[in-house]
Chains A and B, each alone.
Chain A
Amino acid sequence: MRTHAFRLASLYFGVFAVSVLGVLLFVYWMSADFIERQTQATLDAEIAGLAEQYAQRGLSGLVQIVAARSAGDRGDGMLYLVTDADGHPLAGNITGWPEGTPVAPGPVAFKVQMKVQGETLKRPAQGALIVIPDGYRLLVARDINDAALYRERIKMTLMWSGLVALVVGLIGGTVMSRNLLRRVEQVNRTAERVMGGNLSDRVPLRGSRDEFDQLAANLNNMLEQIERLMAGMREVSDNIAHDLRTPLARLRARLELSLIDSPEDGAQTEAVRDAIDEADRLLATFNALLSIAEAESGARRSAAEPLDLAQTVCAAADLYEPVAEEKGCALKLDVEPGIMIRGDRHLLSQAVANLLDNALKYGGGEVLLSAHQQDGRAALEVSDTGPGIPEAEREAVFDRFVRLEPSRSTPGNGLGLSLVRAVARLHNATVALEDNQPGLRVRLEFAAL
């Protein structure tokens, strides 16, 4: 995601840079061309004027008008020179035939020596050479120093503004893509947290009513609906558990009473006993559902007290040790003594018992129960060396009634991990399912006291 956004930003910056450069080059080319044309137009007009004078009044007229125009600085930078066939000047404001200028009619470019405020300067000039009959030459040119300076200045201005545009573009692009990225990140992180089980999390809104805010608002509405549906589903199962518990208990009571009435053994008595066992299993499932609901509602937060996690863990291990032995599993303990946390001893015991139960039932091999304290966190881990859980299914096992075994033949109700998660939430603890290579490792992390 991050690299993709960066690539996108650089692509946009590239396009931006090319277009800015294009525009600047075009502006430069247009201005340079305009100056060039203006110079040329002035020259053409001047030449046309002189040609007219020559046609009307002959050479002497030409010399006269050139001399008149050369007298004094008119400020338009026009340069004139009329020479005889040998290059001796007859009139004009250039002192002599410019060095290195070929004697051929057509456009010429040369350097002219000028005295400006007592200093002799060589300035560029551009013009045309006209050879009049009898070998006389007329040089009409224009001092293009100012134009060249002007062009130079335009070039510099454009270069600087281009540079500024690129820098601003680069900074702006980076800031903007960062900004966009951050908002996408926010959405991303919220989605991750929601998938991690925190259903009440929402994407923060900026109140700017832009597309991102609209997206966030829509996502939030969607999350709202999901949460409501999930809560509804949970409520339904909890209500079923609650409402069916009483009639089921009555059913069981009547069966029990019928046994007291006729205690003699027989096929019928056996059937009644089986029915009672079945009712007990159902009641156990309902009770498990209700205790999860209770833990999730946070109603038992008041029962939290300082307790030693190590002791809780050891007691649960003690309870399950014979079960492990019976299943041929090695149950190992690696517990650091005296890990104080704040919690509900009964719920925590039940959570640890559920984890051990799962590890022994579905995992097997070597089951390790460990509890350690580090950096103000108390970590509890239950790991086995059994088949483990594929990564894609790790989140699902926390849901109610989810059992990964397709046949669902191992006894159990699929509520064990749901309770573990509810208990963890109640304690502000994190639950993670990790790969034990091989097997599964369940890790709970509490804030240590």
Chain B
Amino acid sequence: MKLLVVEDDRETANYLVKGLTESGYTVDQSGDGREGLFLASSGSYDAIILDRMLPGMDGLAMLGALRAAEIGTPSLILSALGSVDDRVRGLRAGGDDYLVKPFAFSELLARVESLLRRGAAGTATTKLRVADLELDLLTRSVKRGDTVIDLLPREFQLLEYLMRNAGHVVTRTMLLEHVWDYHFDPQTNVIDVHVSRLRQKIDRNFERPLIHTVRGAGYCLRASD
């Protein structure tokens, strides 16, 4: 997997490159909007991480030019601006996700991975399956093995999101954004309570737990330990 990081702040760029390389990605880096656009125009990247404020060319303008050239590489916008307005503007310009600085590396990594999956999948499915857990999107029913599991609508959405990202880390913020459409940080860790409630229904009477807590990052739904 090949990633492009367009970031002018040296410290952040180094940190991103180092972290992503350690995580097994091939990373190219540019500190300039124009150069970034030139690199990205090759279309050889699986995802782009770009800063909003860039010398040479603004991040949003660069993204707009890229989309105009019909290059749909999934991209994550980094910004020091945290308001919802900015997020909306970023997504409208063609960004696929938006992350406010400063961010946790685990958060960035989880989001990049999610972007890469989104690019790969794309096929419409009606059933999601992880090990013996099955979720039917049409009948909105959930089964584990032969046991039917009753879920509340919100629990269903939560499980759906976890299953769509099965095998990958999903952060609390990602859950809050995608399941509740909330873009703030609640003081109490409400997400943990929701997940533990879901866990009660999905994992309690079964030998192998499916929902795992990833320390310092979030949750992961996967078949084995």
Contact = CB atoms under 8 A, between A and B. Distances in A.
Interface stretch (B31-39, B56-64, B97-105, B116-124): B97-105
Nearest to A322: B193
A257 B105 contact: yes
A319 interface: yes
B102 A354 contact: no
- Summarize A's interface: helix, strand, loop or mixed: helix
Interface in A311-359: 315, 318-320, 322-323, 326, 344, 346, 349-350, 353-354, 357
Contacts of B190: 319-320, 322-323
B183 interface: yes
Contacts of B101: 246, 249
Interface string B179-190: 010111111101
A244 B170 CA distance: 27
Contact of B187 (A245, A260, A318, A357): A357
Contacts of B44: none
B3 to A, nearest CB: 16
A256 interface: yes
A252 B103 CA distance: 9
A319 B15 contact: no
B85 A256 contact: no
B14 to A, nearest CB: 9
A288 interface: yes
Interface size class of A (residues with CB under 8 A): 35 or more
Contact of B84 (A257, A303, A416): A303
Given A299-B83, A326-B193, A280 B104 contact: yes
A249 B103 contact: yes
Which of B84, B154, B186 is packed against the most chain A CB atoms within 10 Å? B186
Contacts of B215: 273
A353 B186 contact: yes
A346 B105 contact: no
Interface of A: 245-246, 248-250, 252-254, 256-257, 259-261, 273, 276-277, 280, 283-284, 287-288, 290-291, 294, 299-300, 302-303, 315, 318-320, 322-323, 326, 344, 346, 349-350, 353-354, 357, 360-361, 411-413, 416
Interface of B: 11-12, 15, 18-19, 22-23, 82-85, 101-106, 154, 180, 182-188, 190, 193-194, 197, 215-216
- 4 closest Cβ contacts across the A-B interface? A249-B102, A350-B184, A260-B22, A256-B105
19 contacts: A245-B102, A249-B103, A250-B15, A252-B104, A253-B102, A253-B105, A254-B15, A260-B105, A273-B215, A280-B104, A288-B185, A288-B187, A300-B84, A315-B180, A319-B182, A319-B186, A346-B183, A357-B186, A413-B187
